[in-house]
Amino acid sequence: MRVRMTALAGVVAIAALLTGAAPASAAPGDASAYGAKLNVTLLGNPAVDAEPFAAANANGPTQNTFVGVDLTGILKTGVVNASASRDDKSGGVYSRASTADVRVDLLSKVTGEISAELVEAECQATQKGLAGKSKLAGVNLGKLGQDGAASIGHDPASNTVLDVQLAGIKIAEVIFNEQIKNDDGRLTVNAIHIKLLQGKLGSIGTGDVIISSATCGPAGLPIPMASGAGLWIGLGLLGVVAAPVAFVALRRRASCSVRSFGQA
């Protein structure tokens, strides 16, 4: 009896394992994107906390559009588009965000006008790994360009940082093609990320402004286990693993029967 129960328990455990794995493989990876996000507090002004504009997610909505951001003294944009998708067959995910006619007024008193005709971020996760990039078009960096920053170009290197100083004090950072490897394995690409720094000697405020952000990955299993070919593969695996267990159980049972017959 003990042998038969052990064999049955093994089969049940394998079935439970396959069943438990189904939801994870049925929703491989994750992807999301948005056009702009703000959370800043300027000296002498109330905090501005604006949720992501035109947010999209692979779980829905997979596409989103916003007519434009208009926050006086901080940011003004044209049309914002974002999309995120997942391929259940390959397990790969892809996300993209684009923001048109960007004008950053947040640091204008220090840097002059910072603007761009188009700001894009892309992120892709496949079975080979994760990759992301940012694209800029028609960039005007104002006074920052006078310090050689104009060499950033249309395809800035990852995590390119320009310091913003006031009277020799660093008050902010402008990061182009920021790429962040998250603890959960995902990759986040921010085309432009402006950080206001709280310095000991002074600052104009604190907070962040992110323009065009895409997050993806890691890729999921290439074949969903819950249906289709994945289901038959799962059942086949169950049969392959369960067969040796059943064979051992029958063999032991036969051995016990022979022994009992001999003793009789």
What local confidence, expressed as pLDDT, does residue 45 receive?
A: 79
240 and 141: one domain?
no
105 and 234: one domain?
no
227 and 199: one domain?
no
Verify cis geometry, omega within 30 degrees of 0, for the bond prior to 28: no
What local confidence, expressed as pLDDT, does residue 199 receive?
A: 61
Closest CA to 30 of 187, 259, 189, 257: 187
145 and 210: one domain?
yes
What local confidence, expressed as pLDDT, does residue 180 receive?
A: 98
How many domains does the structure of the chain reveal? 2
Q: Is the pLDDT of residue 235 over 60?
A: no
Q: Is the pLDDT of residue 124 over 50?
A: yes
184 and 155: one domain?
yes
151 and 236: one domain?
no
What average pLDDT score do residues 1-21 get? 44
Greatest Cα-to-Cα distance within the chain, rounded to the nearest angstrom: 103
191 and 240: one domain?
no
121 and 51: one domain?
yes
Name the pLDDT band for 248 (thresholds 50, 70, 90).
very low
Closest CA to 116 of 51, 170, 35, 4: 35
| Mean pLDDT of the residues in the chain | 79
Q: Is the pLDDT of residue 161 over 90?
A: yes
Name the pLDDT band for 147 (thresholds 50, 70, 90).
low
What local confidence, expressed as pLDDT, does residue 15 receive?
A: 42
Name the pLDDT band for 146 (thresholds 50, 70, 90).
low
What local confidence, expressed as pLDDT, does residue 20 receive?
A: 44
Question: The whole model's pTM is what?
Answer: 0.74
Condensed to tens digits (0 to 9), the pLDDT of residues 30-77 reads 999 999 999 998 887 788 999 899 999 999 999 999 999 999 989 999
* Domain hosting residue 236, numbered range: 223-248
| Number of residues written out for the chain | 264
Name the pLDDT band for 223 (thresholds 50, 70, 90).
low
CA distance 112 to 264: 102
What local confidence, expressed as pLDDT, does residue 80 receive?
A: 98
